[in-house]
Amino acid sequence: MNSAEEGDLIVRREGAAGVIRLNRPKAINAMTLEMSIGIDAALDRFETDLEVALIILEGAGERGLCAGGDIRGLWESSREGGDLGARFWRQEYVMNARIARYPKPYVAFMDGLVMGGGVGLSGHASHRVVTDRTKLAMPEVGLGFFPDVGGTWLLSRSPGEIGTYFGLTGQTMNGPDAIHAKFADAVVPAAKWPELREALTKVGQGATAAEVSKLINGFSTGEAAGPVAAKQAAIDALFGFDRMEDIVAALGRDGSEFAQATLKTLNEKSPRGMVVTLKLLRLARTASNLEECLVREYRAALEVFRSDDFREGVRAAVIDKDRNPAWSPPRIEDVTPEMLAPYLAEIGADELKFN
């Protein structure tokens, strides 16, 4: 076993597997800039190591793979007019694109909580394993933000309006719904993971993606749809609009318990965040690749970092935890095209570039 213990990140080779373990269990493995840089270095090392046939991404502890980025650090930098957002997201988004095109099989074990930046590390993997304990979400609109880390690419490729629903509400997917939404590939019971993990460390050199898939599928339950998938028809009807006002109106007209509960959820989110999210999701539908979405997300993220809504959303959810954000503006109809424009504008020399 070739090992490097690196505090918040553990990188080592176990047999044929290059293992990357996020190691901040008390913070549900929330990602820092330093961890992201470390993952990139690990991917460099494993790509050229002839003894490494595949990558395993996992999280330490029992609570989840990764609860997202280090929001508190970003909040502090935003308040101080710092540049952590620009540096953190540039590093993270370039890495997200790299994961999607990584030349060796990349197996993400998406157990427990998988949110925000955790989706960026796992949702673009070649082999995405969820469990009976998976709770996957892109809850950024509740922070005055939007689903980033390539989230707009993934959500826009979910069937029908399922992605629009998950992106705007921030609701949680279980394992089977993650399969339905095309965020994952196989449900493997958490109790079977040690056995599957052991088998992955023993694959032959040069193992193909198809061979790794066959191995994983041997442990899979075969489930491919959960409770949200069962509401596909209603979601398609209610979320099939390009303006937030029209989605809200459709929900208001619908007397179902589901529609009313969904409307209540949306009323808690950042109006600006929802308008930006919907626009980015619709633009992503015509994107030709993940990188195109990440470039757009980076522009929007820099604008978010400067915004009062982001600082207020994080304050209410993470810092003071009063769950009572004062959004600006407070109503969807008050989000003007002029407010939206800076999130979509080109940023010249600061544009996101890929290696």
- The residues annotated with a catalytic role in the active site are 69, 117, 140, 148
Helix (H) / strand (E) element for 19: namely: strand 17-22
Give the Cβ contact number of residue 87 at 10 Å.
Answer: 14
Assign 20 to helix, strand or coil: strand
Collapsing DSSP to helix, strand or coil, 76 comes out as helix
Amino acid type, 66: C
Give me the sign of the Cα torsion angle 258, 259, 260, 266. Answer: positive
Task: Tell me the helix, strand and coil percentages in the chain, rounded to 5.
Answer: 50, 15, 35
By DSSP bridging, strand 54-59 and strand 64-66 are unpaired
Looking from the CA of 53 toward its CB, the CA atoms found within 13 Å total 16
Tokens of 204: 């032959």
Per DSSP, helices labelled H in the chain are: 33-48, 71-79, 84-100, 117-122, 151-156, 162-169, 175-180, 193-200, 209-217, 232-239, 244-253, 257-266, 271-284, 290-305, 308-314, 337-344
